[in-house]
Chains A and B, each alone.
Chain A
Amino acid sequence: MFSGFHRLKDMGIMGINSRNLDFIAPHNRRQYYRLVDDKVITKKTAIEAGIPVPELFATIEYQEQLKRLGDILAQRSCNQFVIKPAKGSGGGGIMVIKGRTAAGYLRANGQVITLPEIQYHISNILGGLYALGGARDVAIIEQCIENIDLFDKLAFQGVPDIRLVIYKNTPVMAMLRLPTLASGGRANLHSGGIGVGLSMDQGMTTNAILHNQYITHHGDTDAPLLGHIMPDWDQVLDIGVKAAHMAKLGYVGVDIVLDKHHGPMLLEINARPGISIQIANRQGLKARISSMGL
């Protein structure tokens, strides 16, 4: 561990303090955070800017509306949807419904859940349980992403997403995040998801990490992780740049999902993107940025 004291700097690795002071503080203005912190606003702005996003089915703003939740869900006659907090962070509070059974709704992990349980979950979201600072929040019900064949092969349940780090409107680093059994369908690395580094030129998987350890195969599916090429890579990069531009932020993380039928779509924008992406790519962000001449 101590042998790495100088190496970190030599490798151009970005620490949290440096990310906050040297990248976020000078390039991200507070006033623009609202757009990315609230997923409802992100979605609306993205539609105006012509960026594809998962379709919004409904928003729940008041406890009152919960009584009609059954009707709202039935109206859509859609059995697949995702419930998430508008201001959530770190993938908290996301509930994926994959279908309906006689007993109730079927979650992505196979668990059957009743309508009152869904109502309770949404009421927790409204109370601000998952929001930054515990402020009141709004629940979003949106289209459930249908995985492309490649992702069905790679991921264990859940929806993988591609995280792009965009600096000064240029994509500098990319990572594919795969849910695992342990991460409970979530793709976030600290929930136990797998991070896979992607080459910037064609979106090819290069290294994979799980809990800061390098791996080559998915532990749950045994699928080999390296050497795959992301489909529609140019479109992915294009969405990333457009989203960063739209958010008016100089240093952002853009999360993009790939839908079987609709192609790449913007999921959310993060004004404080994590630094683990460096491990997945085996390269420091500072080194990457300076090598790109930014």
Chain B
Amino acid sequence: MRNKEILLVVSLLTLIGSAIFGYRVFVLDFPLTPNKQVESWHVEMKATLGGPSGSLRLEAFLPRRDSFHTLVDENFVSNDFGLTTQKDPETGNRVVSWSKRNASTQEILFYRGILYETHSANSSAARTAPVITVPQYKTAEFNALRKERVDYLGLGSLIDEIQDKSIDQRSFALELFSFIDANPADNRLEQIQEMNPNLTSLAATEVFILHHVGIYARVVNGLPLKQAKRHASFEARTEILLDNKWVQYNKQTRSLGENRDFLRWWVGNVPFYTVTGQHNATLNIAVKKHTENALTEAMWRGDPTREAMYKLSIFNLPVDVQLVFSILLLVPLGAIVVCVMRQVIGIETFGTFMPILVALSFRETKLLLGVILFCLIVSLGLIFRSYLNRLQLLIIPRLSAIMIMVVLALYLFSMIAYNTNIYTGLSISLFPLVILTMLIERISLSWEEFGAQTALKAAAGSLFVAIVSYLVMNNDLLSHLMVTFPELLLIAVAMTILIGRYNGYKLMEYYRFRMMTQPTDSAPKD
């Protein structure tokens, strides 16, 4: 009876899961394998406005098409706000303006845009060349200013110095950028910035200098496109027009070139947004690399009649929610690993899901470093715990003390790693503090109760399961499948139900009962 029911539930779940999966793969052409080639970016802007109710207008810049990115789609979510977008023909900046006469105390506005990377550069650069109106270096006007104003005195001396080392516009720009990169606090720069309060960024100052020697330059605000970010912040960069191309200075290579990995948002040294009214605004920008271009294509070819099937994809969620789910959807994989390891193989671990959390934290630190960090912190914690044992503390304060020591240890390791440049990208934000603390407590208890062997065996088992979970969760194919086809969760549930009814022997039990399966006469000797 019960077995029939389980068979029914399992086959039903598997059937539904694979039906949806099959439909999306074969009919909707969702890609089965991860496609490494990155072709598009999702950007999202969320404006949170709070303040006394009344009339409100928010103007903000929108991402713009540049040589390497084309805007393919954008949506605005703004309940009963008046919405206009316009493009400034001179700068090419795009501005959205949301306005409402009776805004309430809390308003939230959304914008989402999808940009494709284009490989054939758009040659639209020359059209938007700025007009230079400032006095030119070595003209009479410039020389006069140089005698009158302290900023022009500094400017002139700086240009003199750079000019000596350069022969043309390109080399002048290169020299200037590398000089400023090396001496960002040069007092001539400070003089210039003091007298011209509108030069709020280094990029604006650079543009100011470049304009005085007749080089077309502009401040570009945008996002470095390296990785997904839930809270991205804009960077202001200087771009100069050379041979009809807008080029940026690259600090690493000390050269000038076009920057593909930079999403240009707006041009000019002006603030990102302005609010008219009494509301305060907070704008959050999220950016996410779209992992599969084939997937995007499938999504774009979408047929409205089959809408529901497309909606299943997490790529229809807001970008920051997507980022959360792209991790959450991996957890079931870890759960299945834990089920198999414990029920079928029979490896002892501390805590049921502790290994999954440790595995998730390995995603942040990478495997080798994660394992080293894990061992170091746990051993330090055990030493500290054995000392605390002498002091005889109440349990909860003792756990807190261990946790604080774990935080301290993490901090020290980060410091050491950073200062010795062993691993500068060390990110331990998700390293599960509480889990580590409980683990230390449980290992040390088990150590006292059942001896070092039992405790270390279970600790090693936990680490082993965590490593296997990590390898499974970090498998490109598996994680792609889970994230692209959430219907596979149904099959995952079916698998866990099946394992839940496994009444066969664990692999370790063959070892445990090995004495019994040997012929009786060979066992007792003395």
Contact = CB atoms under 8 A, between A and B. Distances in A.
Interface of A: 1-5, 7-9, 11, 13, 15-18, 20-22, 90, 92, 116-117, 120, 123-124, 127-129, 182, 190-192, 207, 209, 212-217, 278-279, 282, 284
B179 interface: no
Contacts of B504: 15, 17-18
Contacts of B36: none
A15 B524 contact: no
B503 A22 contact: yes
Contacts of B194: none
Nearest to B509: A15
B450 interface: yes
Interface stretch (B100-108, B249-257, B390-398): B390-398
B509 A8 contact: yes
Nearest to B396: A127
Nearest to A129: B395
Contact of B343 (A11, A17, A116, A213): A17
Interface in B484-526: 501-506, 509-517, 520, 523-524, 526
Given A15-B506, A128-B395, 20 more contacts: A2-B510, A7-B517, A8-B509, A8-B513, A8-B517, A9-B505, A15-B504, A15-B509, A16-B509, A124-B395, A129-B445, A212-B512, A212-B514, A213-B515, A214-B524, A216-B526, A279-B512, A279-B513, A279-B516, A284-B516
Given A8-B505, A15-B509, A18-B503, A1 B514 contact: yes
A127 B524 contact: no
User: In terms of DSSP, what is the predominant structure of the interface of chain B?
Assistant: loop
A11 B515 contact: no
19 contacts: A1-B514, A4-B513, A8-B513, A13-B509, A13-B516, A16-B506, A17-B505, A21-B501, A120-B392, A123-B395, A124-B395, A190-B450, A192-B451, A214-B523, A215-B524, A216-B526, A279-B515, A279-B516, A284-B516
A8 B501 contact: no
B497 to A, nearest CB: 13
A208 to B, nearest CB: 9
A175 B38 CA distance: 65
B503 A11 contact: no
Interface hub of A11, A15, A123 (most chain B Cβ within 10 A): A15
Interface string B450-483: 1100100000000000000000000000000000
A52 B172 CA distance: 99
Interface residues of B, number: 30
Interface string B347-359: 0000000000000
Contacts of A192: 451
Interface of B: 343, 346, 392, 394-396, 445, 449-451, 454, 501-506, 509-517, 520, 523-524, 526
A5 B510 CA distance: 7
B403 to A, nearest CB: 15
A191 B445 contact: no
A3 B518 CA distance: 9
A87 B328 CA distance: 36
Given A7-B517, A15-B505, A215-B524, A191 B510 contact: no
Interface hub of A11, A212, A213, A217 (most chain B Cβ within 10 A): A212
Contacts of B392: 116-117, 120
Interface hub of B454, B505, B513, B514 (most chain A Cβ within 10 A): B513
A3 B517 contact: yes
Interface hub of A4, A18, A120, A217 (most chain B Cβ within 10 A): A4
Contact of B517 (A4, A18, A90, A92): A4
A207 B516 CA distance: 11
Contact of A8 (B394, B451, B510): B510
A90 B509 CA distance: 20
Nearest to A116: B392
B499 to A, nearest CB: 9
Contacts of A120: 392
B158 to A, nearest CB: 67
A214 B515 contact: yes
Contacts of B506: 15-17
Nearest to B523: A214
A279 B517 CA distance: 10
A191 B512 contact: no
Nearest to A92: B449
B7 to A, nearest CB: 15
A223 to B, nearest CB: 14
A251 to B, nearest CB: 14
A1 B506 CA distance: 13
B503 A17 contact: yes
The 6 A-B pairs of least Cβ separation, nearest first, read A127-B395, A4-B517, A120-B392, A7-B517, A15-B505, A18-B503
Nearest to A5: B510
A57 to B, nearest CB: 23
Nearest to B441: A129
A2 B517 CA distance: 10
Interface hub of B515, B516, B517 (most chain A Cβ within 10 A): B516
A120 B398 CA distance: 13
B515 A278 contact: no
A116 B393 CA distance: 12
B516 A282 contact: yes
A17 B502 contact: yes
